[in-house]
Structure 1
């Protein structure tokens, strides 16, 4: 399933477009850009939110990031930019950039400025974008894996999951077109108890309904819960690799949403996956692996969730942004 990172040899030239979401962190941007530069996508989309007027010196940082990328594209590729003059915030800047991307591409790969990919991540996504482009059961291809080798029961390169982690991912235009940043259909979804089709545990149902309610009532300012909602409302599932292909390098004081208190998630090393990919024999959510994500990974029992406040703890597990 995997090989040493420095031994990965691309099977062919990459044919898939990449959307690179950046903002004000030149240090992490340089590292992720170098991985993109090594992969040499034929089309590179760069989207950057505008600086916040309340943050002294941020305009200069934002400009440095934009200049660095545009001045260091040294391979043959088509470049498109979406550089915002005003700050829209995470909710509208990110979702708007992804919409812009899929207005130009039928399918593609999306990376934020703190999600450092292995090289095989690009070809993993490209293969599966082609494999499942006409299978509307599959909505999301992720790069993050939290499953240890000790519990993997076969040689498959990936499994199907209810969760669509967004630290490096890929999808299709016709799926993203179902995305609604305001999730106006949430009341009907809640009334029909459709969340039961996704999770059978009341704890998880309550958590997700609470967050969807926060988005719907505009009390939560984000973009990614809406992607979960769109996926589940359309009975979509996600792909998760059995080896971790993304290292999050964005934890710290400069992070917009990730902080040192969540730093345990940053310690997962990225690895390379062997190509060609080994496919599962059936398209079905692996409940064993999903249960591991819920119960075991962070050594948080259901009992401790109640003691410490389940919502706070679950956000550390599930909201990878």
Structure 2
């Protein structure tokens, strides 16, 4: 039985259409159950686009693009973090595993087969926290033969996990006061990127509202890894200024898989060179604060 796909949409009708149409071109689309979670408008400005998104997704059940389509429309604005946490909680309780997309992710035709194969292959490997469909374009070592690699950090751009991993997330971050002043814990968390500890600080101060930083923090505490493909199965089209939580950037552009051959999974060793290359893509703690402060200033000027 294939894992269901959860798609979280808000107020980007064109991005939503492209996300769903690319998923519909997947080889296993006909056998996949899809749950679409639509958040309500945050303000009057968002009403038009939320309506356009909802008008579009309402047409999907009759198009028979997937095995089934269930649409869940929120009556009030939850925000992305609460939408994902509550949506995944609801479905993973029933299905034990999920594949998750947001409304700005183009998938390769083999995305579903890659994800389902990975979920099956790593189900009993208790060191694996999640599976990512996205990856950077990295300069892999010449002798690195595996088609996947390990990272200390999960990715929210097309991912999958199991209930027995998801249930271990501490959404309240109860030990934050200890973490905040413990240099060794902060260093450990930053193995996945120099921005991580600073992002968790911003989350706990209320400056940002991120489910993913709390998800990654629990992963770090449990010393678990995320499986990444060498060749991406996901392309993010949302870094164009249209998203609530994203600006404009080409930094994360990546080549997307075009091969019809199924990925051959194995149990790769942690590779120090790949970890360094991966970590460098997130810049420094200082760069994170510069980017965040610029975004905060722009937000304040619009108020």
TM superposition score normalised by structure 2: 0.84
| Matching residue within 89, 103, 106 for 1:99 | 89
In 2: Cα distance, 1:35 partner to 1:132 partner: 26
In 1: Cα distance, 2:142 partner to 2:237 partner: 26
Q: CA deviation at 1:45?
A: 0.7
> Contact 1:18 / 1:111 at 8 angstroms: preserved in 2?
yes
In 1: Cα distance, 2:89 partner to 2:290 partner: 31
Q: Secondary structure at the match of 1:31?
A: helix
Q: CA deviation at 1:110?
A: 0.6
Check if 1:253 corresponds to 2:241.
Answer: yes
After superposition, residues 265-276 of structure 1 pair within 5 angstroms as 265=252, 267-273=253-259, 275-276=261-262
After superposition, residues 293-308 of structure 1 pair within 5 angstroms as 293-295=278-280, 297=281, 305=284
Check if 1:52 corresponds to 2:33.
Answer: no
Structure 2, unpaired ranges of 5+: 293-303
> Contact 2:129 / 2:224 at 8 angstroms: preserved in 1?
yes
Name the residue aligned to 1:65: 53
Name the residue aligned to 1:32: 19
Q: Secondary structure at the match of 2:101?
A: strand
In 2: Cα distance, 1:238 partner to 1:313 partner: 28
Name the residue aligned to 2:299: none
Q: CA deviation at 1:71?
A: 1.0
In 2: Cα distance, 1:163 partner to 1:274 partner: 28
Q: CA deviation at 1:226?
A: 0.7
In 1: Cα distance, 2:273 partner to 2:164 partner: 30
| Matching residue within 219, 226, 233 for 2:221 | 233
- For residues 73-130 of structure 1, the C-alpha deviation after alignment (integer angstroms, 9 at most, x for no partner) is 3335233332111112222122222222312221121111101110112111101100
Q: Secondary structure at the match of 1:178?
A: coil
Q: CA deviation at 1:198?
A: 5.0
Q: CA deviation at 1:189?
A: 4.5
Q: CA deviation at 1:153?
A: 3.0
> Contact 2:110 / 2:262 at 8 angstroms: preserved in 1?
no
Name the residue aligned to 1:78: 68
> Contact 2:232 / 2:254 at 8 angstroms: preserved in 1?
yes
After superposition, residues 1-321 of structure 1 pair within 5 angstroms as 15-39=2-26, 40=29, 41-53=31-43, 55-56=44-45, 58-73=46-61, 74-75=63-64, 77-148=67-138, 151-189=141-179, 193-199=184-190, 204=194, 207-260=195-248, 262-265=249-252, 267-273=253-259, 275-282=261-268, 284-295=269-280, 297=281, 305=284, 309-312=286-289
The structure-2 alpha-carbon separation of the partners of 1:153 and 1:144, relative to structure 1 and needing over 3 Å to count, comes to: farther
Question: What's the C-alpha RMSD, in Å, of the aligned pairs?
Answer: 2.7
> Contact 1:147 / 1:293 at 8 angstroms: preserved in 2?
no
Q: CA deviation at 1:44?
A: 0.7
TM superposition score normalised by structure 1: 0.79
The structure-2 alpha-carbon separation of the partners of 1:228 and 1:314, relative to structure 1 and needing over 3 Å to count, comes to: farther
